[in-house]
Chains A and B, each alone.
Chain A
Amino acid sequence: METVLTVKDLNIQFTKDGEVTKPIRGVTFHVNKSEILGIVGESGCGKSVTTKAVMGLLPKKSSQITQGEILLGEQRIDQLSDKEMQHIRGNTISMIFQEPMTSLNPVFTIGQQLSEPLKRHQKMPKKERRTTIINALRSVGIPRADEIIDEYPHQLSGGMRQRVMITLALLCNPDILIADEPTTALDVTIQAQILRLLKALRQEREMSIVMITHDLGVVAELCDRVIVMYAGNVVEEALINDLFDEPLHPYTQGLIRSLPNNNERKSRLYSIEGNVPKVTEQMLGCAFANRCEFATEKCVNSAPPTVVNGNHKVRCWLLTEDGVMA
């Protein structure tokens, strides 16, 4: 299978007021051609920082990639200059964001905002741009596209704005679309529509999608493969069915147990005790140890290895030979 994006042993460090934090500590994953990869984890686990690093959108002064590399196909992109990244952003890799309400500029019309990437990346003349944009808007299911092109963002609903955002991301036919919680701010029916749209678009365009979410329901509906992140690490990587059928990492197990289930009425939803360790804290062992009901002395004192079983990878002591499965 062709790999379009590879992230290898990525380490990122932030410096603010002399204080150093390490939100990403050795993240490794890859994205295959025309697959939908889910990245799951609670807020602060590093999913957004990772994708920002891929896009080259981390603040230059306060952040630094201390180790690892990011490959777009065969090309290394983590060391590119801002100018070089500008040719990639919106062209080869696109991104849509969580807040469709604020992610569009309030003082420009939809058409004005959508023509930017066409102008920049494809040098398309003005007349052509308008038809291209109207067609693109129609292709993501926006009605009255020829009117909406001249309207301002605040005249549209949240769902419509997210469709506009998707149009913007897809205008230059990118190879990879990164979707950072694209449905979190939307209500449930709109959410389902957007997910269906993303699925259809993947089919049509053979595009890879990286779906960042904290919602396992979204993952189950959309993704082919999932990585689970916790406190700056990838703790588990699996195909979608494997993950739900046989979650191996205690954290993943906790996440799945805490899902509400339609079939059985639980008296109380499960929740994982404790809090995510702060990113400033130095850790010797597994970051999840303080919340893990199976944790041993070893988990606290030394970093867990990654156990590989075909497509299923887990970073946990419990699955090694001297570990004990519950």
Chain B
Amino acid sequence: MLDFVIKRLAQVVIVVFLALTVVFFLIRLSGDPVALFLPPDTSREQIEEYREVLGFNRPLYEQYGEFMGNAVKGDFGTSLKTNEDALTMVLERLPATVQLAIASLIIALVVAIPVGVLAAYKKNSVFDKFAVGVTIVGQAMPSFWLGLLLIYFFAVQMNWLPSGGSGSPIHLLLPSLTLATYSIARFTRFTRSTMLDVLRMDYIRTAKASGATTFSLVSKYALKNSLIPIITLVALDLGTLLGGAVVVEMIFAWPGIGRLLMQSLLNRDFPIVMAGVFIIAFIYAMINFIADIVYAYVNPQIRVK
């Protein structure tokens, strides 16, 4: 088990390292950031001076070496716009994104697992057909459009909820609901199909043959078996949730990493982009790592080995 943990942790490090490397070279090869954020009437000397200060005139490998050297120490440079420490700026935004992601995840799980189980249990019933229909639409729904519709309905028309910003649980409601929709649809469908698969298994037949009630079959036996694939899917989707958070944060003016990253991309504020990429890659890799551990824990076949 310890071997496994160490191996997976090494993988996390490699992933983060490679992600940074690729983005570093993509950015450096895509053009000169200095020209973009200085006013157009800046003199050539001033541009050169700026370039000197930021080190953009040195050879690429030297820049890369220095960048990585600093990155290891947690130093991604300062924002080209505000001169604040890039990593600090990103980390300040982290809690908002985490809050949004967790709220969405909870909503998704609380809705999806019971609905999926019930739909599988009552396969082909009206409820099942309705649930499947809703999930099909939910999976095809672009989240940013859903966000707009929710704003239009709840904020503009009804005036019940704020259209954007943060600070209270009420502010969290619309963004997390928007973000959760795709996951609700996906988890529900997956829970349903996994449950149906499990209910076809030989060991369910065994339980039935020894007199288990239908309710205990579903709630106790099948659910525990289904939980393993469900946990795996949820862990994989946490990353998608993080990605989706970027879009949702923009619509609802939610002050998370996604919004900061978007603004920095628009401004070509690369130190912040790099710090953002670092944090997201790290979190994503850690989520996968934790998912593997949890998976190993709930699955006795792996745990013992």
Contact = CB atoms under 8 A, between A and B. Distances in A.
A82 interface: yes
Interface stretch (A69-77, A96-104, A135-143): A96-104
26 contacts: A55-B209, A57-B209, A82-B214, A89-B211, A90-B212, A91-B211, A94-B209, A97-B209, A102-B202, A103-B202, A104-B203, A105-B203, A105-B204, A106-B225, A106-B299, A106-B301, A107-B298, A108-B221, A116-B207, A117-B210, A120-B211, A154-B301, A155-B304, A168-B210, A169-B209, A171-B210
B212 A120 contact: yes
Given A107-B228, A107-B300, A86 B213 contact: yes
Interface in B241-264: none
A105 B225 contact: yes
A154 B301 CA distance: 7
Contacts of B304: 152, 154-155
A103 B205 contact: yes
A121 interface: yes
A11 B202 CA distance: 25
A168 B206 contact: yes
Interface of B: 124, 201-214, 216, 221, 224-225, 228, 298-301, 304
Contacts, number: 81
A99 B206 CA distance: 10
A165 interface: yes
A87 B211 contact: yes
A227 interface: no
Contacts of B205: 57, 97, 103
Given A104-B206, A107-B299, 19 more contacts: A55-B209, A57-B208, A89-B210, A90-B210, A102-B201, A102-B202, A103-B206, A105-B207, A106-B203, A107-B224, A107-B298, A116-B207, A120-B213, A121-B211, A152-B300, A152-B301, A154-B301, A169-B209, A171-B210
A160 interface: no
B300 A154 contact: yes
A148 interface: no
A171 B304 CA distance: 28
A117 B211 contact: yes
Given A91-B211, A116-B212, A165 B301 contact: no
A95 interface: yes
Contacts of B300: 106-107, 152, 154
A282 B265 CA distance: 72
* Chain A CB within 10 A, most for which of B202, B209, B301, B304: B209
Interface string A52-96: 000101000100000000000000000000110011111100110
B299 A89 contact: no
A121 B212 CA distance: 10
Nearest to A102: B202
Contacts of A169: 209-210
A108 B208 CA distance: 15
Interface string A152-187: 101100000000010011010000000000000000
Contact of B209 (A61, A95, A104, A107): A95
Sorted from nearest, which 6 A-B pairs have the closest CB atoms?
Answer: A90-B210, A90-B211, A105-B203, A102-B202, A89-B211, A95-B209
Interface residues of A, number: 34
B202 A99 contact: yes
Nearest to B198: A105
Contact of B211 (A86, A102, A155): A86
B225 A89 contact: no
A82 B215 CA distance: 12
A50 B167 CA distance: 65
B214 A90 contact: no
A105 B299 CA distance: 12
Contacts of A103: 202-203, 205-206
Contacts of B224: 107-108
Nearest to B211: A90
Contacts of A152: 300-301, 304
Contacts of A94: 209-210
Nearest to B300: A152
A98 to B, nearest CB: 9
Nearest to B209: A95
A203 to B, nearest CB: 23
Contacts of A97: 202, 205-206, 209
Nearest to A91: B211
Nearest to A178: B209
Contacts of A57: 205, 208-209
Contacts of A91: 211
Nearest to B206: A103
Contacts of A104: 203, 206
* Chain B CB within 10 A, most for which of A83, A94, A106, A168: A106
A168 B208 CA distance: 12
A88 B209 CA distance: 9
A83 B202 CA distance: 21
A73 to B, nearest CB: 18
B212 A107 contact: no
Nearest to B225: A107
B211 to A, nearest CB: 3
A86 B205 CA distance: 13
A105 B203 CA distance: 5
A55 B216 CA distance: 18
Nearest to A93: B209
A87 B300 CA distance: 31
Contacts of A155: 304
B206 A165 contact: yes
Contacts of B221: 105, 108
A168 B203 CA distance: 12
